[in-house]
Structure 1
Amino acid sequence: MKRTLVVGVDGSPESRAAADWAAREAVRRDLPLRVVHAWLWQPLAYPLAQNRDAEARLAEDILKETEGDLSHRYPGLTLTAEVLAELPVPALLRAAEDAEMLALGTRGHGALAGFLLGSYGQQVIAAAKCPVVSVRSAHGRPVALPEQGEVVVGQQGGVADSSEVLRFAFEAAAAADAPLRAVRAWNSPPVYGYSLGPMWSADQFGGLEPYEKAALEQALEPWRLKYPEVEVVEHVEQGGGGHVLLTAASDARLLVVGRRVRESSVGVRVGSVAHAVLHHSVCPVAVVPHP
């Protein structure tokens, strides 16, 4: 049974852009697309006129409009659409449990207030079990989605650390017949951070930069063998991870970063690099959970 690609919509231009991105990606990957809208009747505690039937019809209309638009522009797409009777965050997380990926508009603010607002999107990205793709807007308008350009992926740590992130990036590049730019950012450790083990390892490669290049090559090797058709550009640069990735992805079609699955004392987090690119990248950003 094929896994589905899920997109959350709320009727806003941003969520429509996310739905369009998801539809194109589903066609490329030959996956069914599931369009969902979270709506739960919640009587307000303060005096304000509410009409449950009208709001329910509006939720259905949002789905019908999205479904009709996508079916018209992507006639070969297998498509389903449904209203989820839950609050937004748990509804999206539940929908994404068995999904190949989940797509969201970054700053949706449609007629039903509060569906894909930034805080909700961040909660979903931080807790989802599958990769989440954020299609962002600029000044309240969805940005033009690039159909050309590279898939850019941030690689860090060792082979096991980046396996899931690189798998997703290579799959995306292969599906789009696009080149892949693998980026590894590094900084010189502070004086008090030097230790004999890491510095000895770096010395064996002739310094820190050759060591970082070798680490990137090692992480890429199994995926190059699995996807020989994907053209790979290796990019090792000194600097902060967020800044290096944003510069490398200035003309990209997709930027892929990882999110370590762990909880801190303040709950789940997306990590500093993912947080930076989610807020500043112009192209869609895929956040991939990994151990």
Structure 2
Amino acid sequence: MNQRIVAGIDGTTESVAASHWAAREALLRGAPLHLVHAEEWSAPPAIPAAGSDVRRRWTEALLHEARDELREEHPELEITTESIDGRPADSLVGVAASAGMLVLGSRGLGTLTGFFLGSVGMAVIQATERPVVLVRAAADATPHIHARHMDRDMVVGVDISRPCDALLAFAFDEASRRACTLRALHSWMLPPLVGSGSAYNPEVNAEITQSLNTGLDNMLKPWREKYPTVDMDAQVTSGHASQQLLETGSEAGLIVVGRRIRRSSIGAHIGPITHAILHHSTAPVAVIAHE
């Protein structure tokens, strides 16, 4: 059986959108869906537990309502629920460890709603090596006809200077499941201190672009051979990579970006391009951890 899809639930519009997106993804993969609410509600020993009991009843009702709504929409889908008492980021990372994907609702601008407050959402992305998908409360994230993802292209951002096999494996596999066009994008920029010298010459620019196109084609070749049915469009563009990805993916069904796995606790764990996409994309975004 395929690994289950986990969706975070907190009662907001964004988490409802995420749960419906996750349900469609679970059906696409032939996998069960697991709805999770994580919240630190344990009362200190000196404080009566009545408040915690109220929260537990509210959470139980929340999860059951979400489950019943999705079962009505997708009667063939296996759905389970779980309420976790503990630090949300740690709890979600723990649940995601055995999952094929973790799906969270997001308001955009880097702020995740409900129990994904402040840095919690980013902490989850940084800590787990499982795919994480962020879903906005947009029209393509809520229930729609045929109970499938909308028929739109996928976009994946590629850095040809470094290996990114896990990123491409996810992107090609997902595009194959969706039977959609996969657009691979590599962007480059001239160094800021180049000035107006020969690098701005159209012929030099053309040579650079051709070289990068060759590098991109070489990187994608084994994946094209492994997934011959995937309609592939590879592009090399000049400009800020995040801006190019946002423009190219503005109408996409899914934008796929990577983050490098860092074994050290020091330093940033999400690169500037992925961080910008998470802040500003209106399309669902999949973040794939890779070496």
Q: TM-score, normalised to structure 1's length? A: 0.85
Aligned to 2:94: 94
Instruction: Please report how far the alpha carbon of residue 78 of structure 1 lies from its aligned counterpart in structure 2 after TM superposition.
Output: 1.6
Q: Tell me the SS of whatever aligns to 1:251.
A: coil
Instruction: Please report how far the alpha carbon of residue 144 of structure 1 lies from its aligned counterpart in structure 2 after TM superposition.
Output: 1.4
* Paired positions, count: 270
In the TM superposition, what are the counterparts of 1:1-291 in structure 2 within 5 Å?
A: 1-43=1-43, 51-107=51-107, 114-136=114-136, 142-145=137-140, 147-158=150-161, 161-189=163-191, 207-262=207-262, 266-291=266-291
Q: Unpaired runs of 5+ in structure 2?
A: 142-149, 195-203
Structure 2 Cα separation of the partners of residues 114 and 263 of structure 1: 29
What's the % identity of the aligned pairs?
41
Structure 2 Cα separation of the partners of residues 132 and 81 of structure 1: 19
**Alignment check: 8 A CA contact 1:148 1:252 kept:** no
Q: Tell me the SS of whatever aligns to 1:287.
A: strand
Q: Tell me the SS of whatever aligns to 1:51.
A: helix
**Alignment check: 8 A CA contact 1:39 1:59 kept:** no
Instruction: Please report how far the alpha carbon of residue 264 of structure 1 lies from its aligned counterpart in structure 2 after TM superposition.
Output: 6.1
Encode CA deviations 1:246-286: one digit per residue, 9 max, x unaligned.
Answer: 01001100000000011566555211011101111010000
Q: Which runs of 4+ in 1 moved over 4 A?
A: 47-50, 263-268
Structure 2 Cα separation of the partners of residues 150 and 48 of structure 1: 53
Q: Tell me the SS of whatever aligns to 1:37.
A: strand
Q: TM-score, normalised to structure 2's length? A: 0.85
Instruction: Please report how far the alpha carbon of residue 114 of structure 1 lies from its aligned counterpart in structure 2 after TM superposition.
Output: 4.6
Structure 2 Cα separation of the partners of residues 98 and 51 of structure 1: 32
**Alignment check: 8 A CA contact 2:59 2:83 kept:** yes
Instruction: Please report how far the alpha carbon of residue 48 of structure 1 lies from its aligned counterpart in structure 2 after TM superposition.
Output: 11
Distance change (3 Å), C-alpha of 1:214 and 1:120: same
Encode CA deviations 1:20-53: one digit per residue, 9 max, x unaligned.
Answer: 00100110111111111113323379x9996221
Encode CA deviations 1:59-87: one digit per residue, 9 max, x unaligned.
Answer: 11111011111111011112111112221
Encode CA deviations 1:205-260: one digit per residue, 9 max, x unaligned.
Answer: 97211111111111111111111111011111001110010010011000000000
Structure 2 Cα separation of the partners of residues 126 and 8 of structure 1: 17
Q: Unpaired runs of 5+ in structure 1?
A: 137-141, 193-202
Structure 1 vs Structure 2 CA RMSD: 2.6
Aligned to 2:145: none
